[in-house]
A = this chain, B = another copy of it.
Amino acid sequence: MKNSRKQFIQQAGASALALCVSGALPGRLLAARPKRTEDPLKIGVAAWSFTKFKLDASLDMMSRLDIKYLSIKDFHLPLDSTPEQIAGFFEKLAAKGVTGYGVGPIYMKSEADVDRAFDYTKRVGVKLLVGVPEHELLGYVEKKVKEYGFHYAIHNHGLTDKRYPSVESIYEKVKDLDARIGICHDIGYSIQMGFDPAALTLKYGHRIYEMHVKDMMKSPSGEWLDCEIGRGAIDFAALVRALRKTKYQGVCSIENETHNLDPLPSIAESAGYFKATVKLA
């Protein structure tokens, strides 16, 4: 386990380096490389926040937000992208000082899907793959993780997901597999299911390799609704302390689900709230 975490940290650095090598103009590459002195709780954006926007517009928003880490979704970089398309994608990121640090979530319903996703992740040049595999594919996923050396984080998707509703349901399936297979903790789905995201983070943090951060509030009729970070029910100070205590080394990527036709103000408010919490908690 310990080795796996160390490896994860090394790979995060290697990934940034890979971007620098593959990327665009030298003057701009420095900005894409994480500083050694920065707070280990890095803030990013999960590309799902930009589901209605093309890459250029998404990067313009990230530039305005001054956020440097992007979790890559296939609607911006399709799984069948050519090497030229991948290089062009990273040139655009580098021009804005943005690091694309992982891909996914990618659904996997067959061994061919798993093969395709691992091949894509390798060609993209990152070491973190967020996936949603059918249970019977987990043995095959483990084989691929050993072969490729990636971290594979399974995303919890709440009440309507029969495969992986909760963080716990993921852990139960992966705990005896290679330690590089773990969790992408979507804290919105955790609170929706009645769990305290900070407590879950403390309990399962040793296998959490990606964080999707958001907030949710309960409507008067008892329904959980996505909202800007700080307006809802999640205790972000407790979450940040839990991430620090478990020495989380990944990125905390804001995933905005409100106002998806006009997400920038919501992501901005969330980013401001989360940044202050990281500073003060």
Residues of A within 8 A of B (CB): 64-66, 228-231, 236-237, 259, 264-266, 268-277, 279-281
Contact = CB atoms under 8 A, between A and B. Distances in A.
Given A64-B259, A230-B279, A269-B272, 19 more contacts: A65-B265, A229-B272, A230-B272, A264-B264, A264-B265, A265-B265, A266-B268, A268-B272, A269-B269, A269-B271, A270-B272, A271-B272, A272-B272, A272-B273, A272-B276, A273-B273, A274-B276, A280-B280, A280-B281
A253 B231 CA distance: 19
Specify how many copies of this chain sit in the oligomer.
2
Contacts of A264: 264-265, 268
Nearest to A276: B276
A264 B259 CA distance: 14
The A interface is mostly helix, strand or loop, or mixed, namely helix
A242 to B, nearest CB: 15
A229 B272 CA distance: 8
A279 B273 CA distance: 10
B271 A276 contact: no
B275 A230 contact: yes
A235 to B, nearest CB: 10
24 contacts: A64-B259, A65-B265, A66-B231, A228-B268, A229-B272, A230-B275, A264-B265, A265-B265, A265-B268, A266-B268, A268-B269, A268-B272, A269-B269, A269-B271, A270-B272, A271-B272, A272-B274, A273-B273, A273-B275, A274-B276, A276-B276, A276-B277, A276-B280, A280-B281
